[in-house]
Amino acid sequence: MPFALHYAQHISRLCERYAEVLADTGFDAVLLHSGSERVYFADDQHPPFKASGHFLHWLPVNRPEQMVLIMPGETPVYFQVIPPDFWYEQHITLEDWVAAAFERIPLQHSRDALPHLQRLLSTKNTDKAHLAFIGENTAFAETLGVAPSACNPTALVNALDYGRAYKSEYEVASIRKANRLALQGHTAARHAFEDGGSEYDIHMAYLQACGMLDDEMPYPTIVGLDEKAAILHYQNKRRSSGADSQVLLIDAGCRVNAYCSDITRTWTRPGTSELFKNLVEAMEALQTGLVARIRPGMPYPDLHRAAHEGITNILLGAGICRGSREALIEHKMSTLFMPHGVGHLLGIQVHDVGGRMKNASGEIQPPPEDYPTLRTTRMIETDQVFTVEPGLYFIPVLLNPERNTARGKLIDWEVVDAMTPLGGIRIEDNVRVTDTGVENLTRVLI
Ligand SMILES: [Mn+2]
């Protein structure tokens, strides 16, 4: 069991890291709160609960009102809150390898943590003013006597966010498994597409093969047939038959121990236009080529630029655009066809924290002027996990306004009009940076 082997090591690494960061930021202890449930306006129903990232970093328990107390030099304390409730199941299953890492204090209400906190902190000779709180429910923190200035203190949160980019073996093992599960789903989805399934059918086939529920997905699956593939975060699932569909773009992941995978594949039917099939092949080659050039010490924006160079070449090679490479670059033509970043950090959050951080003090590395929306600007370093996901789409809302512009003169509109009903292409893998390159967590045999 890879998790049992690596989890203890993950926790001891976190203990060391937290001890350093707490010392640097002037706190003696920190309480991580998983969050509180909310109800919809004027309703007694609530959205699916998602525990906060800093809490899940320690403990894979996706439940409200749970807390972890970190005091350097001490075993981490888990305040396990199980209310006496008969409406919902409240039992929490804790793997032995998780339980072994904590001193567990069972409670019926989160407020019952207060006397325990006072006792634990007094043995450390630590007065409450030096207890930090990380979590959304700062009103609750105040009931514990935490000063507002110690709730989510910027310096502490920045340092922790920065550190979350470097994944431990346990975290990588979790993301690796989340990839394997998602790949089972992707295989089933491809078969459902080949059998003429609707977007709904393909989505259900994906969930079934992963053994997951919608609420357990790291993000809502994107299942776009034909022109819907051009909607970057297409959120609907048409029930109409896909028997005549030519293209499937599916962007879907899984979650294991709170860690996400995020994989996109684009499939075509045998009768699809040769030009589009060639584009898929070219994008596949671009994507694997980008993965192959990743090295520690490379700024992530360089990878993004390389993706745009590749897209420019593909646009020219396929006859979608004409003119010189220089003219296309000058007009930023590739951004019309790939209007998103080439990837993002991946972990507990699908778009993981710290993508634009220059250092642990929270200095920001702004995106390059030519790509202001790029989410990841960080230096690539060993043990980061991120996605590599170039895309090429025919998006009417971006392309149509160019029909009569100088830039538009470099576009072959007949080709664009022929390709628009086929939507677009995205190919996305998850990689872990090693000392010499990457481990591709997605291109594995299942
Ligand atoms: Mn992604």
pLDDT one-digit tens code per residue, 348-359: 999 999 999 999
Tell me what pLDDT residue 445 has. 86
> How do 429-433 and 263-268 pair as beta strands?
unpaired
Verify that 289 and 340 share a domain, yes or no: yes
Q: How far is the CA of 389 from the centre of ligand 1 (A)?
A: 7
Which pLDDT tens digit goes with each residue over 190-249?
999 999 999 999 999 999 999 999 999 999 999 999 999 999 999 999 999 999 999 999
Q: How far is the CA of 343 from the centre of ligand 1 (A)?
A: 6
Extended strands (E) in 29-122: 29-33, 67-70, 77-81, 103-107
Q: How confident is the model at residue 5 (pLDDT cuts 50, 70, 90)?
A: confident
Q: How far is the CA of 234 from the centre of ligand 1 (A)?
A: 13
Q: How confident is the model at residue 128 (pLDDT cuts 50, 70, 90)?
A: very low
Verify that 188 and 256 share a domain, yes or no: yes
Asked if residue 348 lies in contact with residue 260, where contact means CB atoms within 8 angstroms, the answer is: yes
Q: How far is the CA of 387 from the centre of ligand 1 (A)?
A: 6
**In percent, how much of the chain has pLDDT > 70?**
98
> Is residue 288 assigned to a domain?
yes
Tell me what pLDDT residue 1 has. 64
Residue 354, burial from CB neighbour count under 10 angstroms (0-12, 13-18, 19+): buried
The yes-or-no verdict on residue 137 having pLDDT over 80 is: yes
Q: How far is the CA of 265 from the centre of ligand 1 (A)?
A: 11
Q: How far is the CA of 297 from the centre of ligand 1 (A)?
A: 22
Q: How far is the CA of 185 from the centre of ligand 1 (A)?
A: 16
Verify that 193 and 99 share a domain, yes or no: no
CA distance 133 to 117: 12
* Domain around 344: 169-440
Tell me what pLDDT residue 49 has. 96
Q: How far is the CA of 427 from the centre of ligand 1 (A)?
A: 10
Tell me what pLDDT residue 391 has. 98
Q: How far is the CA of 400 from the centre of ligand 1 (A)?
A: 26
> Is residue 263 assigned to a domain?
yes
Tell me what pLDDT residue 123 has. 74
The least confident of 52-66, 277-291, 363-377 is 363-377
Q: Which two tokens stand for residue 323?
A: 């003119």
Q: How far is the CA of 428 from the centre of ligand 1 (A)?
A: 7
- Of 163, 184, 217, the one marking the end of a domain is 163
Q: How far is the CA of 222 from the centre of ligand 1 (A)?
A: 11
Which pLDDT tens digit goes with each residue over 140-154?
999 999 999 999 999
> Is residue 446 assigned to a domain?
no
Q: How far is the CA of 34 from the centre of ligand 1 (A)?
A: 25
**Chain-centre distance for alpha carbon 166:** 14
Verify that 129 and 250 share a domain, yes or no: no
Q: Which residues of 222-258 are buried (b: 16+ CB within 10 A; e: fewer)?
A: bbbbbbbbbbbebeebbeeebeebbbbbbbbbbbbbb
- Of 131, 163, 195, the one marking the end of a domain is 163
Q: How far is the CA of 23 from the centre of ligand 1 (A)?
A: 35
> Is residue 43 assigned to a domain?
yes
Q: How far is the CA of 298 from the centre of ligand 1 (A)?
A: 20
> Is residue 247 assigned to a domain?
yes
Verify that 146 and 230 share a domain, yes or no: no
Q: How far is the CA of 431 from the centre of ligand 1 (A)?
A: 12
Which pLDDT tens digit goes with each residue over 395-424?
999 999 999 999 999 999 999 999 999 999
Asked if residue 222 lies in contact with residue 350, where contact means CB atoms within 8 angstroms, the answer is: no
Phi, psi of 154 (to 5 degrees): -55, -45
- Of 142, 163, 184, the one marking the end of a domain is 163
Q: How far is the CA of 202 from the centre of ligand 1 (A)?
A: 19
Verify that 355 and 214 share a domain, yes or no: yes
Asked if residue 176 lies in contact with residue 9, where contact means CB atoms within 8 angstroms, the answer is: no
Q: How far is the CA of 261 from the centre of ligand 1 (A)?
A: 9
CA distance 182 to 398: 31
CATH number, domain of 120, equals 3.40.350.10
What is the count of structural domains for the chain? 2
Q: How far is the CA of 252 from the centre of ligand 1 (A)?
A: 9
Verify that 175 and 255 share a domain, yes or no: yes
CATH number, domain of 270, equals 3.90.230.10
Q: How far is the CA of 344 from the centre of ligand 1 (A)?
A: 7
Rg (CA), the chain: 24
Q: How far is the CA of 193 from the centre of ligand 1 (A)?
A: 21
Q: How confident is the model at residue 373 (pLDDT cuts 50, 70, 90)?
A: confident
> Is residue 98 assigned to a domain?
yes
Which pLDDT tens digit goes with each residue over 250-278?
999 999 999 999 999 999 999 999 999 99
> Is residue 445 assigned to a domain?
no
> How do 67-70 and 77-81 pair as beta strands?
antiparallel
Q: How far is the CA of 255 from the centre of ligand 1 (A)?
A: 14
> Is residue 186 assigned to a domain?
yes
CA distance 298 to 293: 9
Q: How far is the CA of 108 from the centre of ligand 1 (A)?
A: 39
The yes-or-no verdict on residue 129 having pLDDT over 70 is: no
Q: How far is the CA of 241 from the centre of ligand 1 (A)?
A: 27
Mean pLDDT computed over every residue of the chain: 96
Q: How confident is the model at residue 122 (pLDDT cuts 50, 70, 90)?
A: confident
Tell me what pLDDT residue 423 has. 98
Tell me what pLDDT residue 124 has. 65
Verify that 249 and 354 share a domain, yes or no: yes
